[in-house]
């Protein structure tokens, strides 16, 4: 077992790496070389990345791809996606191309309300607390004017503050439940600063409230923090077309495809075991765009999955129907996103992605992200209800397998051609690569040209 180290954060980056290499690796020099190979040769750019977090030792890369041909509200987009899963970008691009020929995607922001709470304990008469809150409510707004001034100038700020009694669930537990509009910023720092100010005002005003008994003046604030569950910060994305336009391939009629597709969605609506994987596919698209645009995918994931459980059972985020011969596939999803602040202008590639998207507002980015999730879901369901998910996924996974097996460039080209007509599996690729490595090169070239 390694020994604890004191003052690690005060070491230089080189000292941190040296300690890690010597403490955990049989070949320390190789470990150091590997880490340094991922440093950016541009020193100022590397310094910028080093300062994003504490104890940085190197950069951890994800591929940044693009999915072109998205039409959203009659506007064309090429969507950036930062993701490691091999089939995500290809699936999104395929769905985008499919729906671009059928009118594209429609997206609407339903609301942009965000939430924060001051959690506190009050051991006293609930009626007295209600009277107190009503008498000082305005002071929460007035006492945070210095924090909200700039946000108000942009059309945002504190929307409302409520007192909520939770004593049936936890003894003496109450909340200040506040709602916010943060415009183009995600608003986490703004909201948390306001909440901490509310808690300060709450405690100070309670001490001076004449109607409180002595034991009621000591309000104990447990914590003040925003919520990543934003059920009123929701965007809707949808596609629709006549059923007869859903031509998948010659082996399945548009009606059969539609019937199977809708049944697959309904299964995810009622079966949590399926719904989790179904929604994970949606998040493949959503997370990839969120990472590329410098937003917090962990916050979005938590809020989305809570939203999927809002009716007491985890269920599908997307839905499908046919009415009067028109197929409609749609999704409503909570997305608290920002286009200013955080990494949006600090990280060069994040800035690049925003510019490629036309420098969208937060509402526009919500629409783009939701559409990417719906496109991903459509692509997955289309595969599942026709050819099966593995055919396309494993084709995309082929290059990963070839790289794992150490294939050279010539053998990679041969394998890609071979597996256009053959099923991909790790063992099948290994066997074929072994065949290439033990076969006369002239014979291989002859087979490749056929």
Encoded tokens for 421 = 């007509």
Active site residue 85: yes
Active site residue 75: no
Burial 200-239 (b: 16+ CB within 10 A, else e): ebbbebbeebeebeeebbebebeebebbbbbeebbbbbbb
Instruction: Out of 205, 296, 354, 364, pick the active-site residue.
Output: 296
331, exposed or middle or buried, with CB in 10 Å at 0-12, 13-18, 19+?
buried
Instruction: Out of 393, 397, 411, 418, pick the active-site residue.
Output: 393
DSSP code per residue over 295-349: --HHHHHHHHHHHHTTTSS---SEEEEEETTEEEEEEEEE----SBSTTTTTSHH
Instruction: Out of 177, 209, 280, 305, pick the active-site residue.
Output: 280
Instruction: Out of 18, 50, 85, 259, pick the active-site residue.
Output: 85
Contacts of 158 (CB under 8 A, 6+ apart): 140, 141, 144, 148, 178, 179, 180, 194
Cα distance between residue 415 and residue 420, in whole Å: 9
| Contact present, 373 and 283 (Cβ < 8 Å) | yes
Active site residue 393: yes
Encoded tokens for 282 = 């949606």
| Contact present, 82 and 292 (Cβ < 8 Å) | yes
Active site residue 280: yes
Q: Which residues are catalytic?
A: 85, 280, 296, 393
């Amino acid at each position: 077992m390694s020994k604890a180290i004191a003052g690690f954060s005060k070491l230089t980056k080189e000292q941190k790496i040296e300690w890690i290499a010597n403490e955990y690796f049989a070949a320390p020099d190789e470990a150091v070389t590997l880490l340094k190979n991922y440093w950016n040769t541009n020193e100022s750019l590397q310094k910028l990345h080093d300062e994003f977090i504490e104890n940085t030792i190197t950069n951890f890369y994800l591929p940044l791809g693009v999915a072109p041909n998205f039409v959203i509200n009659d506007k064309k987009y090429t969507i950036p996606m930062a993701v490691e899963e091999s089939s995500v970008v290809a699936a999104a691009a395929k769905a985008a191309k499919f729906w671009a020929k059928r009118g594209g995607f429609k997206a609407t922001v339903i609301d942009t309300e965000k939430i924060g709470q001051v959690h506190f304990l009050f051991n006293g008469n609930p009626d007295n607390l209600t009277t107190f809150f009503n008498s000082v409510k305005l002071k929460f707004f007035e006492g945070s004017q210095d924090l909200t001034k700039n946000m108000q100038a942009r059309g945002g700020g504190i929307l409302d503050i409520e007192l909520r009694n939770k004593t049936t669930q936890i003894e003496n537990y109450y909340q200040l439940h506040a709602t916010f509009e943060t415009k183009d910023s995600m608003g986490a720092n703004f909201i948390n600063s306001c909440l901490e100010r509310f808690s300060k005002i709450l405690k100070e005003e309670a001490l001076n409230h004449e109607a409180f008994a002595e034991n009621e003046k000591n309000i104990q604030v447990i914590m003040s923090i925003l919520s990543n569950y934003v059920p009123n910060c929701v965007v809707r994305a949808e596609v629709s077309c006549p059923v007869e336009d859903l031509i998948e391939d010659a082996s399945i009629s548009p009606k059969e495809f539609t019937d199977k597709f809708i049944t697959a969605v309904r299964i995810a609506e009622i079966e949590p075991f399926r719904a989790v994987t179904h929604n994970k596919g949606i998040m493949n698209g959503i997370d990839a765009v969120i990472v590329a645009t410098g937003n917090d995918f962990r916050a979005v994931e938590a809020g989305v999955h809570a939203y999927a459980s809002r009716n007491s059972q985890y269920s599908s985020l997307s839905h499908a129907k046919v009415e009067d011969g028109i197929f409609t596939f749609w999704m409503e999803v909570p997305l608290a996103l920002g286009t200013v602040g955080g990494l949006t202008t600090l990280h060069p590639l994040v800035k690049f992605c925003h510019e490629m998207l036309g420098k969208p507002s937060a509402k526009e980015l919500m629409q783009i992200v939701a559409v990417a999730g719906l496109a991903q879901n459509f692509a997955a369901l289309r595969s599942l209800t026709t050819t099966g998910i593995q055919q396309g996924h494993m084709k995309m996974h082929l290059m990963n397998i070839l790289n794992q097996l150490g294939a050279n460039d010539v053998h990679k080209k041969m394998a890609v051609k071979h597996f256009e007509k053959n099923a991909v599996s790790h063992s099948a690729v290994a066997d074929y690569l072994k065949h290439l490595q033990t076969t006369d090169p002239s014979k291989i070239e002859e087979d490749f040209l056929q």
